[in-house]
Amino acid sequence: MEKNNEKVKKSIKREIFEWVMVFVVAAAMAFVVRTFIFEPVRVDGSSMLDTLTDGEYMIATKFDYIFGEPERFDIVICNYPNTNDGMYRVKRIIGMPGDIVQLLGGQLYINGEHMEQNFDMHSMTENFGPYTVPEDHYFVLGDNRNNSKDSRAAMVGPLSRDEIRGHVRAVVFPFGHFRLMKD
């Protein structure tokens, strides 16, 4: 009988150990997926209207920028400098390193050339710039340019490459709003 008791104790200990290992492996896999592959992100606010609306959930891929560089008009998740709130911001890359960015009457000019912006955005008539984007930095704007704290704001400015965390690929929730993002 004592041998059976030892077996039961060992099997309970083994069962607990196996469950702990399942949770450790699951947590490690979730960490790897969120850090290197993709991350779900919730839109908070109106700075990306009409492209993205408050409360939508998106999937942002991370591997794109591990092996490559952001491109003009990519919608990205990013960390803002001098903030420790743990929140990502969602913006559109407008200026690449070394570009001269200017807004005249709401029209975008890059290096003196008018750029078509073939995406939904709120019209704007303000002027900005010209502004030269520093090397290794990116100039980001919200699509709702009248209501967006972005690279035009002194507290934000251009973003360094390491502040850009992922490339928004799709809106996945609410389910009726599912769509792939086009750059």
| pLDDT tens, per residue, the chain with 183 residues | 555 666 666 688 888 888 888 888 888 887 776 677 778 899 999 999 889 999 999 999 998 888 889 999 999 999 888 777 878 999 999 999 999 999 998 899 999 999 998 887 777 778 999 999 999 999 999 999 888 999 999 999 999 999 999 999 999 998 888 898 876
Sheet with 107-110, strands from edge to edge, namely: 113-115, 107-110, 100-104, 128-132
* CB-CB neighbours of 44 under 10 Å: 13
Closest to 90 (Cα-Cα) out of 10, 12, 165: 165
98-120 b/e (C-beta count within 10 Å ≥ 16 → b): ebbbbbeebebebeeeeeeeeee
Candidates 45, 80, 81, 74; CA nearest to 60 is 74
Q: Which residues are catalytic?
A: 47, 91
According to the model, what pLDDT value does residue 183 have? 62
pLDDT at 163: 94
Query: What is the separation of C-alpha 159 from the centre of its chain, rounded to a whole number of angstroms?
Result: 13
- What pLDDT does 3 receive? 59
Beta strand segments in 4-145, E: 38-42, 57-61, 75-78, 89-95, 100-104, 107-110, 113-115, 128-132, 137-141
Helix (H, G, I), strand (E, B) or coil at 24: helix
**What's phi and psi for 134, nearest 5 deg?**
-65, 160
What are the chain's domains?
A: 40-180 (2.10.109.10)
CA 74 to chain centre: 10
pTM of structure: 0.82
d(CA 97, CA 4) in angstroms, rounded, equals: 71
Structure tokens at 165: 């965390």
Per DSSP, the three-state class of 12 is helix
Structure tokens at 79: 């960390």
